[in-house]
Each structure stands twice: as C-alpha cells, then as structure tokens.
Structure 1
Amino acid sequence: MRVLGRVPRKAFTLVELLVAIAIIAVLMGLLIPGVQMARESGRKVHCRSNLRSMALAVQSYETAHRVFPSGYVANHAASDVDASTLDASPGTSWGLAIAAFLEEQRAAAAVRPNDPAWSVASPQAADVVALALPIFLCASATGPRDPFAARRPDGSPHPSGARLGRSHYVANAGHADPWDESPPRRSWDGIANGPLYRNSRIRAAQITDGLSQTVFLGEHTSAVSEKAWAGVVPGAASHPGERVATLLGGHADAAAALVLVHSGPAEDEMRIIHPPNDPAAHADQMFSDHPGGAHVAMGDGSVRFVSELIHQPTWAALSSINGGEVVPGDRSE
C-alpha cells in the first residue's frame, strides 16, 4: 500500500502580507474621513434645526409683543453694577424671553419680572438658570457642556455662587471695530445697530435692510468664552458695553449671549467666523467649531452657513438693521 505524502500548506509570504496590510490601511484611510464627514453633516443639520427653532421663536415673540426681544434686559438703577466697567447689571437675556415659544415651560414659568428680589443670580432662580437646555447646545461644539460658575470680570468667583447653563448661540447686537473707541452709537444700551442689543425694543418696521438680509442669531462656542442662555448675573462681564475696551482680555464669562459680529478693521485679513488667532481677542464675535464657517439665523427665520472668509463689509452689512447696504446674494455662503 502506497502512503500519500502530506501536501505542504501554502502560507502568505512577507510581501503578500505587507500588500494586504497596505490595502487595508488605504481602505481605512478612505472610510474614516467619510464617516467623520457624515457625522459632521448630521451635527450641522442638528445645529441648523436649533437655530431655525430659535429664529421662529423670536418671530413668535414679535407677533405676540409687537417688538423683538431685547438682547439683554438690564436694570440701570441696580446698585451692584461693576463700577470699573459700568457693565452687567442683573438681567435676563433673549434666550429666557423666548423660552415659552420654545416649549421650555419650566424656564418661562420661573421668570417673575415684577418681583424686585428675583434675578438670574437669586436663589429662587438657581435651579432654572443652571439648566442645560439641549436646544442651546451645538452638537459640534467642543469643550464642556455642563453649567459654568459665574465670575467677576477679573476672573474671581462671583459672590452669588451662581451657576449658569451654557449657550452656544448668541444674538446679534450690531457691528463695530473693538479696537476703535468710536462705535456707531454708544450708550448704556451698548452698540446699537443690530436687532438684539441691551434693552433693545426693535420693531419689524425699523429693520429697513429687510429681515432676510439681517443676522439675528448665530453661533459662539465655549472655546472662546462662556455664554449663558438665561441672562447676566450682577457684576459679571457683559458686552457690548459702554467701554469697548472691555471686550478684550477674555472678559466674557457669565455674560448674556449677546455679541458684536465684526472682526476688526476692513484691512485686517483675520478670519471672521472661525478666528485662528488668540481667542481672547475674539470673545465678542460669532465663532463655530464647524469646518469652514458658522450658521446664522436671519430675521425671516431662514438659516445660512456663512463662510469664515466672508468679505468683511458684507458681514458688517448683514449685521446692521438699517445701513442701507446692498448685500450680494452669493457672498454669505
């Protein structure tokens, strides 16, 4: 009887193994960016939805009250205004004003405007103003998402111990050059050529540039400075204020979600929306963690994605309510 010999098993050679590994690496290299892009696309859709809902709530507020909500309602007679900056008397922001129209009934029911003892920093408001409301949080935003402790403009802890829920969305207070001490209009109500500034009471008829050509809301992530959806605690930093210089140095903690939208002098080529330089110098601007730009909500409720390299005069024109500028239709995307 003949015994069959054992057939030798053929194995991968080193070259074949290296080729297989290289092919897998190439496939992974092609697949991972696609997955990341798909995830970011989903996050952008969610962000647009948030802004769309808030823009519609602002419109509903105007329908009910015949004026748009104030960017921030300040009490000028408050005794605890920071004397060094004349900034940030206690008050509530546009986010709290539209809470009822966002179906955030707990937040809306907590406000007691006729009670002098009630403020954003009062014990009665502590549970509400510390809420992390999902609609005010962008899915692409980096950094912490939990409530933050209010601080004084010098960075020291605020004596109230208030903790405030974050907002990754801000209101447009107007445009100005924060390096220039001569803004378009200066008063206790701040720089007032946008639709939602301190103690504003803007009617739709006053927005002669057109609602579809005026930015109302936009993004501002915690990577630059903290923003609260509910309002301002006494003596914390807020902007825009009477002293434009206070915009710099990162003095934006515990401020109402209220910003300027201009990046600087016209000859300055820094990026407008997603600045690559010192974040402290951009605490007063819209800012996003989306690649290439940020979302803004216009007065008519539409939402646009604005390029980080938008032409500065165009960006300034979109920021004012009655500048009379003609905005090219293809410059905002």
Structure 2
Amino acid sequence: MQHSIAPRRRPAAGFTLVELLVVIAIIGVLVSLLLPAVQQAREAARRIQCTNNVKQLALAVQNYASTNKVLPAAGHFGTMGDAVYFDGSDWRVDLRSGTNQNWIYDLLPFMEQQNIHDQIDDTKHVTQAPATVLASPPDSLLCPSSQTSGRLYQTQAGFGTAGVSIGKASYAAYSGPFHIDSVRHTGPIGLYGMSLKRITDGTSLTLMLSEVRSREEMADQRGAWLLPWSGATLLSMDFHPEYYSKANEESTSASSLSYEADKRSLGNTQVPNGRLPDVLYDCPNSAAAQLEGMPCNTQFGRNRTMGYISAAPRSLHTGGVTAGFVDGHVEFLGEDIDEFVMLYMISVSDGQVISGR
C-alpha cells in the first residue's frame, strides 16, 4: 500500500509589521512632498479666476465710460454743498452721505447683472434695498483665494433707515493717491466721477482696481460690496501732498490745492498687503485683525471733522495683489513695489514717467 506524501506548505506571502511601517512612512513622505505642489496648483487656478474677475470689472468700467462719457463715481454721495467740509487741513467728503450706493452698483448693467441693479432704487438709501440683494454680491466679485464667500457686514445705528446685512466681496477702486475722502482726488474713480479726458497720463498706466480682504467680524466694513467706504470698495495710498501741512484755513479752496508729493510719506503709505492699518469707522477686535494680517484703527472715529481715511489693497496671494488698469489690462503688484511708482500709477495727470515696474 502506497502512502502519498502531502506537499509541504510554504508560508503565505505577506508583509511583516516592519515592512508595513516602512511602506506607510514612504507614502507619508511622498504625500508631504506632493501636497505643496497640489496646493500651488490650486492657488494658481484661483489666481487665474481672480485675474479674470478683475479683467471683467475693468472692461465693465470701459463700457460704462463709453456709454456715459464719464467714469463711474466712487459713490452716490450728498451734493458737494451738503457733503463736503473742511477739517482744518483738507477738504473732505462725508463718505456716508447721500443714498450711498457705489461704483459697483453703477456697473451692474455692464456686468450682466441688470436684474440686481433694477432691484436697488438709487433714489432711496442703500439700506432700503431688498435684504437678499444686499447680502448676496455677484459671484464675479468674489476672488476664490480670499475666503470671503458668505461673510456679512452689519450696518450700525445711525446709518440709513435700519440695520442691514451687506455681503462682502473682494475688489475695490482707487479714488486717489491721498486720503479716500479727499476732494482733491486724482485717482480714476473720483468721488464725484471724472471723464476719460482727465487721465492724461495714459489709461494703460493708470491703476484703477485691486483686491481687498475681509474678516468674519460683522462690524468690520471691509469688503462690503455696495458701500463706498474705506476698505469696503474704495482704496487710497495715503501718500501726502505737500499742501497737507500748510492748508490750515477754511478759506483755502479745494481747487487751489495742487498735488505735489511729500517725500516724508515714504515708508508710511498703503502698499499691497502693507503693515499700516486700514482706517475704518469701526475696528472690532483690533488685536485679532493684526494677527490676521489686516490691521485697522478708527483714527477717523465717529466725528467726521477729525482724522483721515485710507486703506491698502490686500490679498491672500503670495507676494502681492491682482490689479486692473483703466485700459482693461491686469497686472500683479508686488508687495515690494516702489512707492513713487505706485503713486504715479494711481494719479491720473501727474505727468511723471513710470519706470522700474
């Protein structure tokens, strides 16, 4: 009788615990190497979208100017007789006066947003617009990098007919190189508007739009898409003119104040993502704002006859902000931009030759 001998079983193939740990470690290293590249690719895509948004806004301004023969005004303020005042050193406009819609409202029909425009009656105060409209800026006003979507600004007592929530967006315009509320505006989106003929430095050299950041704080006005306020939809560089320290009599006319740059402002201007605070009507939790890279203060305070108003362009892009020019082209402005170059780009008729860009 023959006995069959069963073949000896070989141990099942598999990984030992040490081998598994080694594989996991290798995968972890590869992921850590890959994630920055993935994040960079995502940010590149977001920045492209942001650039396109600025481009479309600039083209909307051009179409508005072609139709109306003027550039949009910064805001729907009170008349110059009612809203302009002298604070002892400069002629200013009360940015909270009038019905208080802004330049973005005027552009809505040229952004394929006629329906939104028609729901806002500019003969009534902006706070009387439908709540859903106020709270919902068009998607084209949101930079994907800015983390702004869904944020709201709650207006304060004393402004308009009732407290309302206004959505926050990502873009603002330059009213001038000095203070946002200065009557002597030489930026393209002037407080009461201006014609293209006044831009004698060339539309391709004149900086008009850039980015702003916002916070979760509902009392922080920055980004509020329909308000012509500092850091909401208006910017300025805070580069002082020489007359600022000399004009101390109310008899000084606004038209006589020629703009000659004061070199003492160097190092203290609102450059992209700058260290200087944005000057707001309210600056809630200023310590947190500083940590978020969005410093602010209330130097202006609640008394309209004191202080100053300015705000810097800000973004979460690395190294600078996306900016649009009057002719419609878009550039990336670095945080290290020469202050005089930026000044000359904002000014519309300084006659200076821009170099070193």
Once the 2 structures are TM-superposed, how far is the Cα of residue 160 of structure 1 from its aligned partner?
Answer: 1.2
Could you list the runs of 5+ residues in structure 1 that have no partner in the other structure?
177-182, 233-237, 240-251
Largest Rg, 1 or 2? 2
* Partner Cα separation in structure 1 for residue 237 and residue 184 of structure 2: 11
Equivalent of 1:97, from 92, 97, 106?
Answer: 106
Residue of structure 2 equivalent to 1:142 = 147
Deviation at 1:197, TM superposition (A): 2.7
Q: Which residue matches 2:256?
A: none
Aligned counterpart for 1:26 among listed residues 21, 29, 44: 29
**1:133 corresponds to:** 138
From the superposition, tell whether residues 275 and 299 of structure 1 become closer, same or farther in structure 2 (CA, over 3 Å): same
Out of 298-307 and 24-33, give the one that drifted further: 24-33
Counterpart pick for 2:351 among 317, 324, 330:
324
Does structure 1 residue 119 correspond to structure 2 residue 95? no
User: 1:213: Cα distance to partner?
Assistant: 0.6
Query: For residues 273 and 80 of structure 2, what CA distance do their matches in structure 1 show?
Result: 37
Q: Which AA in structure 1 matches 2:330?
A: V
Q: How many residues align?
A: 292
1:286 aligned onto 2:294: no
Give yes or no for the alignment of 1:198 onto 2:191.
yes
Q: CA deviation at 1:227?
A: 2.7
Higher alpha-carbon deviation: 12-21 or 216-225: 12-21
- Give the one of 205, 219, 223 matched to 1:227: 223
Q: Alpha carbon RMSD of aligned pairs, Å?
A: 3.2
Q: Look up the match of 2:235.
A: 259
Q: Which residue of 2 aligns with 1:273?
A: 272
Q: CA deviation at 1:144?
A: 5.1
What is the alpha-carbon distance in structure 2 between the residues aligned to residue 320 and residue 71 of structure 1? Answer: 15
TM-score relative to the length of structure 2: 0.72
Q: Any conservation in 1 of the 2:72–2:106 contact (CA below 8 Å)? A: yes
Q: Alpha-carbon deviation of 1:43?
A: 0.8
Q: 1:133–1:165: 8 Å Cα contact kept in structure 2?
A: no
- CA distance change for structure 1 residues 141 and 86 in 2, over 3 Å: closer, same or farther? same
1-structure distance, mates of 2:183, 2:223: 17
Corresponding residue for 1:171? 173
* Residues 183-229 of structure 1 deviation map (CA, whole Å, 9 limit, x = unaligned): 6xx9x754512111321x21112111111111111100114852333
Provide the secondary structure at the position in 1 that maps to 2:331: strand
Cα distance in 2 between the residues matched to 1:166 and 1:217: 16
The residue that corresponds to 2:45 in the other structure is 42
Task: Please give the TM-score of this superposition, normalised by the length of structure 1.
Answer: 0.76
**Inter-partner Cα distance in structure 1 for 2:28 and 2:221:** 39
CA contact (8 A) 1:318 1:327 kept: yes
In structure 1, what residue type is equivalent to 2:203? Answer: L
Alignment partner, residue 209 of structure 2: 217
Instruction: Give the CA deviation at 1:271.
Output: 8.3
Residue 151 (structure 1) shift: 2.5
Supply the AA of the counterpart residue of 1:216. M
Partner residue, 1:162: 164
Shift of 1:314: 1.3
Match of 1:235 in 2: none
SS at match of 2:126: coil
Give the direction of change, closer, same or farther, for the CA distance of 1:57–1:270 in structure 2 (3 Å limit).
Answer: closer
CA distance in structure 2 between the partners assigned to 1:23 and 1:127 by the alignment: 51
Q: Aligned pair in 2 of structure 1 residues 129, 77: CA closer, same or farther (>3 Å)?
A: farther
The more displaced of 258-267 and 142-151 is 258-267
Identity %: 28
Q: Distance in 2 between matches of 1:95 and 1:198?
A: 13
Cα deviation, residue 272, structure 1? 2.4
Give the conservation status (yes or no) of the 8 Å contact 1:95–1:230: yes
Go from structure 1 to structure 2 and tell me whether the alpha carbon gap of 1:171 and 1:19 turns closer, same or farther (over 3 Å shift).
Answer: same
SS of 1:92 mapped into structure 2: coil
The 5 A counterparts of 1:244-255 are: 255=232
Correspondence for 1:57 among 55, 60, 69: 60
CA 1:158–1:280 in 2, change beyond 3 Å: closer, same or farther? farther
Q: Distance in 2 between matches of 1:173 and 1:271?
A: 13
Return the alpha-carbon distance in structure 2 between the equivalents of residues 198 and 261 of structure 1.
15
* Residue 151 of structure 1 pairs with residue 156 of structure 2: yes
- Distance between the aligned counterparts of 2:148 and 2:56, measured in 1? 24
